[in-house]
Structures are given as structure tokens and as C-alpha cells.
Amino acid sequence: MAVYTDVTDEELHAFVAQYDIGSVLAFKGIAEGVENSNFLLHTEAGYFILTLYEKRVNPAELPYFIGLMEHLAAAGISCPTPLANLDSETLGTLAGKPAAICTFLNGMSVRRAKAVHCQGLGNAMAEMHLAGADFTMHRKNALTVDGWRPLFDLSQDRADEVCHGLAAEIERELTVLEERWPRDLPVGEIHADLFTDNVFFLGEELSGIIDFYFACTDAFAYDVAICLNAWCFEADDSFNVTKARALLKGYSSVRPFTAAEFEALPLLARGSALRFLLTRLYDWLSVPEGALVTPKDPMEYLKKLRFHRHVTSARDYGLALGDVVA
Amino acid sequence: MAVYTDVTDEELHAFVAQYDIGSVLAFKGIAEGVENSNFLLHTEAGYFILTLYEKRVNPAELPYFIGLMEHLAAAGISCPTPLANLDSETLGTLAGKPAAICTFLNGMSVRRAKAVHCQGLGNAMAEMHLAGADFTMHRKNALTVDGWRPLFDLSQDRADEVCHGLAAEIERELTVLEERWPRDLPVGEIHADLFTDNVFFLGEELSGIIDFYFACTDAFAYDVAICLNAWCFEADDSFNVTKARALLKGYSSVRPFTAAEFEALPLLARGSALRFLLTRLYDWLSVPEGALVTPKDPMEYLKKLRFHRHVTSARDYGLALGDVVA
């Protein structure tokens, strides 16, 4: 839930007047997105989402995020489409903060994904990867292997408060991943945060992907690995191979994996599990005493990491090499 | 901001299927209402607000609140109109809680009301009072004079932590109000919480009134007194007689005051100021250490109470008896 900034009527009317969408009929804060303030904006032209970019998003990176959404939407990917104002700008300023108006996307995130949702996700992710190929801007992934040790340094001393032996286990894992991390996989624009919150469905049909504020230029297969973690484990932390198979099959039916990608998947899945373990661990240890918001449990990702460590081949994710590679 | 209850897809689809509004296209928690969880509901039939009634609302009283909105809407008052489901029920159950779907009301609350807004509010409030005349259900006002002393008892011992001498001042005020409170004014269904948050405008035109969950059967003029406090003071706590004049003129142009109402206004304004002082004082003293939500400052209403105590006649609110009485 997120509405961090108050917007006055005058500011709102002046901002919306820069667009060709008529006057404002309604404006309500909505509980969507964690990093930014999001509002439902109803104007004479219809319903939109207005986003105010709060301080966790670096303003210098907004042209990349907004540009990527514009590019993907133009290529037919269902994602929020930033509206251009009368000066052809998609990024403006409201209440002293960067702001954009995007199309309203129908659909809802699923709480309990079924295999059919995973397959749809695989399809859409592969289409998104292909559609991004001719996007000319790039952004380094700040949360890939090079960024993990500095992040770990912030929590190392207190990691064992969460689970005995955790610091040593992360240290060993980091060393392995730094040594073996694949550097030559096919690269492009990836979403990098395709959790269920960020994918909308209408029934079993995927209707859109939102929240591109972790998007970056990195290995396509790393995006797939993030989804294996985010979509293919059950509430009891057991791996659901049926969902993984559907995800990989859905992906490869649009963009077949290379053999190197297929081989790298277990390691990428370990890396992605470590990435979310590290950010959750940091948030867990940083939360102020008595805060109302409970941070997400880092242990969930430790269990996922351990699962992938015992995976001997991507075959354990439910598909043979020949099924998914071109 | 308020979304307290998680709703699963299955529950939502089953609930919406009871209505003739097509299937669900989007569902987002919105930051509106303090007592309940509110969601924007987009279906094939359009946009609606779905409200889940949380524990601060007594389920036994919901038929009154929902019935009043239905009645007022049917009489042409712009307020959320509860939709009847296929069994002709306006109140159902979702996620184990009472729930209703209402029409989506355009407009936004004003942060800095001008006199013209106050006049519109006066008009609409009087129309609402008239429209409620033939509503057959009634609800006692739990927060009028008889309820204040029990409420004060909960905070009396610690009232001086907020302001030295506050307990004694409230005690004196309560005694005066209990003695002089008018019992024979015209009575009907009042909103009883017409703060700026609960009144929508499109530009200078009032477009709707929301949040009827304090509505009750009480003196019409008490509703007016609540608005004098909520709309006619500036941020520096000074009284704005231009706004008060506009409010009273707006009201009386639709429903002229009786002489008794006009005479009683200063006392009713003191009472209404005390009512909000007492609830805010209670909330202020009850807030847990370290909570993220800051309760509203009770001192604002102490200052308003003191202002009204020095008002000698309703004439001080900007109008003479002859201007507003039938």
C-alpha cells in the first residue's frame, strides 16, 4: 500500500492540463506498488494511473524505465503505457516529484498461481524479452552478482540473529556464485522483479505486466530464474515441478533457450534466491522497533536457495534439454 | 488510507457473480475511508466502489446506513448508491465480512475550502435533510450530549497531559451543555461527519457526499454546527465568517432555519466542538508508543470550542435572524 505524497487540487489540475485528456473527474490513492505513490485518475478521457516517483527511485533512471514501458507497449506488450503530454514529454513534475500518467491496465494479480498462469507468464516474459531487443537504452543491474557482497556486508554481523549459521552459509554461497557466475549468456532488457504482484490476469489469461522499476539489462535467463523462485514454490516452500515445467515450456515456445542458458538455470536460480535473501535480510534487520509493516521473511529465500543448490541439472525443473532449446 | 482485509480471487468472483454487473476486470485497494476497506472495482458494467465493513462498524447498524444511502440516492441526492444483487439484497458477505458494492462517485474533496464550497455544502446538506424526511429507519446518535460524559471518563485522568487544566475545562463545559442542550429542535437523519474528506466537488460544484457511517437521527442544526467547525476555521484556527455566512445562506436557501435552531446554533457548535475534542483526546491518549499513524490533534477542537463559547449570538456567524429563518 503506498501513497506517500499529498497532491493539492491546484497542482493536480495544472499537471493534468498539460495532457490532452480533459479535466479531472476523480483522483484516489491506490494500494499498489511499494516504491512509489500511485493514484487512480479519472478524467473526461477515461481512467489512468498517475504515479509519483518517491525517493527510492533514482530520477536519473526514470527515462530508462518510462522509455522501456513506452517501447514495450508500442511493440504490443501489455504494460502501462506512459502518456505523452502536449510537449511530447512522458515524464513531468507534480508536488515537487517526478510523475507520469499511464494507461489503466485491467486484470488482477493471482494469489495462488496455477500452472496455466505460469505458462502464460513464460509466454509473456519471452515476448517482452524479444520486444526489448531494439530498445536503445540500457541500465546496469545493480542487484546482480557484483552487488551482492557489498549488500551482504551491511547485514553480515547480524545475519545469525535470523538463523544460526546464516552468515557462513551466505559467505560460502557468494564465493561459489562469484566464481561460477555465467558471463556470456544472451542479454537484453529484463523486468527483474516479476513477482505475482506485478503480473495481472483476467481469469487464466495474462492481461499485463506492471512495475518496471527494477528493469535492467541482464541475462534473459536470469529473469526466468527469478520467476522460478517467485512462482514455482508452494506456501510450504516445496518446489512445484508442474508449474516450473509450464513456465519453461511457455517461455521456450516463444523464445527457445540456448543450451548455455539451459545449463546455467540452476546457478541463476541460486543467484536469484540469494539476491532476494540478501535484500530481505537487510530489510528484516533494518526495520525499526514497533513498526507496523512486517518485512518479508528472508528464510523463505534461504529455503529456495538450498533447494536449488541440490538441483543437479535444469532437467530437475521438469524439462529435458531438447524440449526447450532451439 | 485503508485496506485491512485481503480478498482472494475466488471470493471476489463469487461475490461479484451475485450481481448483474458482468465479470471483474480490475480490483484495487483505495486510500479512502478510515473505518472500512474500500476497493475500486472495475467490471464489464463499469467502475464501482466495493466496501468491506471492518470491526469498527456494528453490523446491526449497516441496514440503517445502507438503507439511508439508498433512500437518499433515490431522492436525487448524490451519494454512493448501493447496488442490489440478484436476490435484491444490498448487503452481502465477502471474506467473512459484511460488504456492499456502490456506484463510483466522481469528484474530489477540497483541501482548502472556499466560501463557494461552503455554500454548496450548505445547499446539499439541506437537500439531504429534506430528502431523509420520509426515511423510516432511525438510529440514535451515540456521540451526542448523553454520550460525552462516559467518553470523557475514559480520558479525564490523563487529559492534563495534553494541556494543563483541560480536564477541568471539559468538566465545566460538559456541565453547561448537559444543562442547556436543546431537546426540541427539528430532528431527522443527519450525516454527523461532514468533514471535507467526505464531500466531493468538481471544481466549485458539489458532486457528492460519502461515508455515511456516523449518520444518525438527531437535530438538523447539529449537522450544520458540525460543518461550522469542520469548514469555517482557517489553518491558524481563526474563524472565517465569510465561509460561515456562505454555509448558513446556502443551507437556509433550501431549508430555512426555525428561530429556535438559529438561537441554538452557538450552543450546538460548542457541543459539536466538544464531541470531536473528546474523541480526538481519547484517540490521542490511546495511540500506542511508536505507532506510525499520528492521531488528529485534540487542541484544534479545544480552540474551536473556546471560540464558540465567546459567541453571543448566531449573528456572529455572519447572518441576521431574518436572513435565514422562514
Set of chain B residues whose Cβ sits within 8 Å of the Cβ of A31: 1, 3, 28-31
Confidence of residue A289 (pLDDT cuts 50, 70, 90): low
**CA-CA distances (angstroms) from residue B109 to A8, A211, B192, B200, B231?**
10, 28, 17, 5, 12
Task: Show the cell assigned to B102.
Answer: 456502490
- Among residues A4, A64, A10, A57, the alpha carbon closest in space to that of A29 is found at A4
Do the beta carbons of residue A226 and residue A194 sit within 8 Å? yes
What pLDDT sits at residue A215?
Answer: 97
Q: Which of A153, A184, A188, A187 is nearest to A171 (CA)?
A: A153
Alpha carbons A167 and A156: distance in angstroms, whole number: 6
Q: How many angstroms separate the CA atoms of B84 and B71, rounded? A: 13
Residues of B in contact with A49 (CB under 8 A): none
Residues of chain B whose beta carbon is less than 8 angstroms from a beta carbon of chain A are 1, 3, 6, 8-9, 12, 24-32, 40, 42, 47, 104-108, 110-112, 200, 202-203, 288-293
**Which set of grid coordinates corresponds to residue B321?**
435572524
Contacts of B12 in chain A (CB under 8 A): 108
Report whether B27 contacts B42 (CB < 8 A): yes
Domain boundaries, chain B: 9-103, 115-324
**At A293, is the pLDDT very low, low, confident or very high (cuts 50, 70, 90)?**
low
Residues of A in contact with B203 (CB under 8 A): 23
List the helix and strand counts (H, then E) for chain B. Answer: 10, 9
Name the residue with higher pLDDT: A37 or B172: B172
Of B12, B24, B28, the CB nearest to A30: B28
Q: What is the mean pLDDT of residues A265-279?
A: 97
Average pLDDT, stretch A231-247?
96
CA B124 to chain centre: 13
pLDDT, residue A4, reads 66
The nearest CA of chain A is from the CA of B95 a distance in Å of 14
Q: Is the pLDDT of residue A197 over 60?
A: yes
- Cα B286 to its chain centre, rounded Å, is 22
Per-residue model confidence (pLDDT) at position B157: 94
Q: Among residues B229, B303, B219, which one has the least CA distance to residue B269?
A: B229
What local confidence, expressed as pLDDT, does residue A111 receive? 85
Crossing angle for the helix pair A259-286 and A220-231, to the nearest 10 degrees: 60
Residues of A in contact with B30 (CB under 8 A): 28-31, 40
Q: Which CATH class is domain B115-324?
A: alpha beta
What element of type H or E holds B10? helix B9-16
pLDDT digits (tens, 9 = 90+) for A38-85: 999 999 999 999 999 987 788 899 999 999 999 999 999 999 999 999
Question: Does residue A1 register a pLDDT over 50?
Answer: no
Name the phi and psi angles at A28, rounded to 5: -135, 135
Interface contact flag, B202 A25, Cβ < 8 Å: yes
**Calpha distance A130→B274 (Å, rounded):** 65
Find out whether A278 and A305 touch, Cβ atoms under 8 Å.
no
Cell triple for B72? 437518499
- Residue A73's closest CA among A139, A135, A138, A18? A135
B100 vs B38: CA distance, rounded Å:
10
Q: How far is A25 from chain B (nearest CA, A)?
A: 5
**A contact test, residue of B7, B30, B111 with most A CBs within 10 A:** B30
CB A53, CB A97: distance < 8 Å: yes
pLDDT of residue B1: 39
Write the pLDDT tens digit of every residue in A110-143.
Answer: 988 999 999 999 999 999 999 999 999 999 999 9
Check B291 against A292: CB less than 8 A apart: yes
Q: Report how far residue A274's alpha carbon sits from residue A297's, in angstroms, rounded to the nearest whole number.
A: 13
Give CA–CA dist B127/B288, Å, rounded.
41
What integer pLDDT is reported at residue B31 of this predicted model?
80
Of A6, A106, A289, the CB nearest to B290: A289
Ramachandran class of A203: left when φ > 0, alpha when ψ lies in -120 to 50, beta otherwise: left
DSSP A123-143: HHHHHHHHHTTT-----B-TT
* 8 Å CB contact between A269 and A311: yes
CA distance A38 to chain B (A): 10
- Range with lowest mean pLDDT among A276-280, A290-294, B121-125: A290-294
Q: Which residue has the cell 451526542?
A: B144
* Residues in B touching A293 (Cβ below 8 Å): 292
Is CATH 3.40.50.150 what the domain over A9-103 is classified as, yes or no? no
Our CA dihedral for B243, B248, B251, B255, rounded to 10 degrees, sits at -170
Question: What pLDDT tens digit does each residue of chain B (326 aa) get?
Answer: 346 677 888 899 999 999 999 999 999 999 876 678 899 999 999 999 999 998 778 889 999 999 999 999 999 999 999 999 999 999 999 999 999 999 999 999 998 899 999 999 999 999 999 999 999 999 999 999 999 999 999 999 999 999 999 999 999 999 999 999 999 999 999 999 999 999 999 999 999 999 999 999 999 999 999 999 999 999 999 999 999 999 999 999 999 999 999 999 999 999 999 999 999 999 999 877 666 567 788 999 999 999 999 999 999 999 888 888 87
Task: Tell me the percentage of chain A whose pLDDT exceeds 90.
Answer: 84
Q: Could you tell me which of A86, A260, A83, A272 has the C-alpha nearest to residue A186?
A: A260
Interchain proximity A40–B28, CB inside 8 Å? yes
Cβ pairs bridging A and B (under 8 Å) = 84
Instruction: Provide the ipTM.
Output: 0.85
Mean pLDDT rounded to a whole number for chain A: 93
Contact assessment for residue B148 and residue B174, using Cβ atoms and an 8 Å cutoff:
yes
Least CB-CB distance to B28: which of A12, A23, A31?
A31
Q: Which of A54, A294, A271, A116 is nearest to A180 (CA)?
A: A271
**Do residues A318 and A242 make contact, with C-beta atoms less than 8 angstroms apart?**
yes
